[in-house]
Structure 1
Amino acid sequence: MTTTTPQPRQAGDPTAVPVSVWATAQSAPAAQRSGRYSPEGTAHPAKMLPAIAAHAITAYTKPGDLVLDPMCGIGTTLVEALHCGRRAVGVEYEARWAEIARTNVGLAREAGIEHDAAVFTGDARRLSIVLPAEYFGAVDLVITSPPYGDSTHGQVSVRPGEGVHKRDHRYGATLDRGNLANLGLGRLLTGFTRILTATATLLRPGGYVVVTARPWRQHAELIDLPAHIITCGTLAGLVPVERCVALLGRLVEGDIVGRSSFFQRDFVVKQRAAGLPMHLIAHEDVLIFRSPTHAEARTQANDIDRSAIPVAGLPRYFHTPPALAA
């Protein structure tokens, strides 16, 4: 983590000051979405905090730039890009969420924002087919988040005499194996590497990719998704430049007031009672990559042996996409 004293940062110049902690949860998620988003999007299992998207967009782009989210869900990144004076394009696999994303873009239109925006329905692993040719080489920033453990998502329903029930914590149809969220960790990482590889062809030279990723616990074991995503980005030919922390809790006089879900708190309480000293996860890692310049791309092609890239914890189940293995 960076130890330099934070200074004002110029939009579009992420090298100015490497601020590593983003205070992105000073207001609750519902308050951040109030007035900008359709209530129909509440059921989405993993919505990015608007403040995280807005912070990344203002830090890594300038007004008029083009922002892409290849897995845009209900369109949070697109809406925040529009409100920041940027253009936006999103791709969403599930038609239900794509339609809500279009609705949310429409709300920005009703608020008087006229910047270009579009939502396409399709598989982000096939961006070359889903997106028109005009977007290739024109994107200034890619910002997205992969799907991950359903233990961190969901809504709570309490029924008299029936206890607490969890809902809206899964993506799409469970049997839809085309949805990355329904695959095991290994295939999820493989698919996400393909997505990052595809976005690299859309970025202008020197453009940025911002990925938010949260570690989660599976059967009490911590799954370090952020570390795996760094490997995915490297395999995709991107250059890692920063690793930041976006807080999911509110800063109050030097302390953090958590905004964790009922299920996270319940899990931690039960594990502590069983003797395991666990703590709530109160942040998302923000991983920033850069598209290589033409000179760097030539160097990569000549010098990098990707089979030698260390993959911490992945050899048992990480499958290199055919396009990278060739």
Structure 2
Amino acid sequence: MADQPHPRPLSVWAVAQQHPRRQRADRYIPASSAHPAKMLPALARHIIATFTRPGDTILDPMCGIGTSCVEAAHLGRHAVGVEYEHRWAGIARRNAALAARRGAAGTIHIITGDARRLPALAPPHLHGAVHLILTSPPYGKATHGTVDADRSRGVHKRDFRYGHGDGNLGHRRLDELLTGFTDILTGATGLLHPDGLVAVTVRPYRHNGELIDLPGAILAVAHHAGLVRADRAVALLAGIRGGNLIPRTTFFALHNVRVARTTGVPLHVVAHEDVLLLRRRTLGTDPGGRAS
């Protein structure tokens, strides 16, 4: 990629060498654990360190508990996060305050609002000034949450909803999610610095046994938002020890695979996230990102 601050990175990133709980220790308040879809801090850190410089501005239009913002601040970048749910926005602000107490050199500003209205929500000074937009679309309750099990209550699921209303994109059908995410990317693109980059972390998932190619769908809607693919990488969701993969998967992913295998379907657990790297489309560039 042209004009990037560091040498071209490897296409496979080992960002789960530490367990997610260990990655969040001491940098995030305990209430953060209730969010159903937290970005790995090591993944956010790797993207930010690779594609931006100290003093740059980072934006996450669906920031949740503020992982991307916290990691950006600790790397000396300035971060703005937008979060639809008041609960998570409040926790993101508390995580931002903790980062400041821990000596983070960068600043964090959290906005509560609907990122589909991003141009109206964003402060004027951000327009054309964001060096990296880093975010991840919601996946919904099929892949997230926490399982508790005890002898008296059995197995039950908790912390799998982003909120209690239907307005959150995480509660909508796939077509509605993609329409909303197109609106978000379109608004975010207008805030990009001329040399800015959009990074979307996203994984395929299964719904009623069908594999949903969400990364492919996101690439398609990115085109409608005026973006082209600049690069693509894989972030491992498993650790590597002595040449072997150490699973970090959820109860739900394991359960779905076990159920499928009992019916004779040879499924495997998804052990990676795609990292889609996008730039604004310019004259002379075709939808695939190639010079015409």
Calculate the TM-score normalised by the size of structure 2. Answer: 0.94
Match of 2:14 among 23, 38, 56: 23
Amino acid at match of 1:226: P
2:69 corresponds to 1:75: no
Cα offset, 1:104, TM superposition: 0.4
Name the CA distance, whole Å, in 1 between partners of 2:2 and 2:108. Answer: 24
Match of 1:41 among 26, 32, 38: 32
Cα offset, 1:291, TM superposition: 2.5
Secondary structure of residue in 2 paired with 1:151? coil
Secondary structure of residue in 2 paired with 1:195? helix
Amino acid at match of 1:131: A
Tell me the equivalent position of 2:137.
146
Match of 2:222 among 219, 222, 233: 233
2:181 corresponds to 1:181: no
Cα offset, 1:281, TM superposition: 0.6
CA contact (8 A) 1:93 1:122 kept: yes
Aligned alpha-carbon RMSD (Å): 1.8
Q: Deviations over 1:153-177 (max 9, x none)?
A: 111111313321111011101xx23
Match of 2:90 among 87, 99, 102: 99
Q: Deviations over 1:96-117 (max 9, x none)?
A: 1001000001011101224222
Tell me the equivalent position of 1:209.
198
Cα offset, 1:227, TM superposition: 0.4
Q: How many residues align?
A: 287
Match of 2:241 among 235, 252, 261: 252
Cα offset, 1:282, TM superposition: 0.5
Q: Deviations over 1:33-58 (max 9, x none)?
A: 00000001111000000001000001
Secondary structure of residue in 1 paired with 2:274? strand
Tell me the equivalent position of 2:108.
117
CA contact (8 A) 1:204 1:291 kept: no
CA contact (8 A) 1:11 1:61 kept: no
Amino acid at match of 2:214: L
Tell me the equivalent position of 1:13.
5
Tell me the equivalent position of 1:60.
51
Decide which moves more: 257-266 or 22-31.
Answer: 257-266
CA contact (8 A) 1:149 1:218 kept: no
Decide which moves more: 240-249 or 108-117.
Answer: 108-117
2:260 corresponds to 1:271: yes
Amino acid at match of 2:184: I
Cα offset, 1:274, TM superposition: 1.1
Tell me the equivalent position of 1:6.
none
CA 1:179–1:171: 2 relative to 1, 3 Å: same
CA contact (8 A) 1:23 1:246 kept: yes
Name the CA distance, whole Å, in 2 between partners of 1:111 and 1:259. Answer: 28
Q: Where in structure 2 are there 5+ consecutive unaligned residues?
A: 288-292
Tell me the equivalent position of 1:161.
152
Name the CA distance, whole Å, in 2 between partners of 1:273 and 1:127. Answer: 46
- Superposed counterparts of 1:188-199, under 5 Å: 188-199=177-188
Amino acid at match of 2:18: S
Cα offset, 1:148, TM superposition: 0.9
Name the CA distance, whole Å, in 2 between partners of 1:11 and 1:118. Answer: 27
Name the CA distance, whole Å, in 1 between partners of 2:133 and 2:47. Answer: 10
Q: Where in structure 1 are there 5+ consecutive unaligned residues?
A: 1-8, 305-326
The percent identity for this pair of structures is 52
Name the CA distance, whole Å, in 2 between partners of 1:268 and 1:80. Answer: 33
CA contact (8 A) 2:148 2:156 kept: yes
Secondary structure of residue in 2 paired with 1:178? coil
Tell me the equivalent position of 2:290.
none
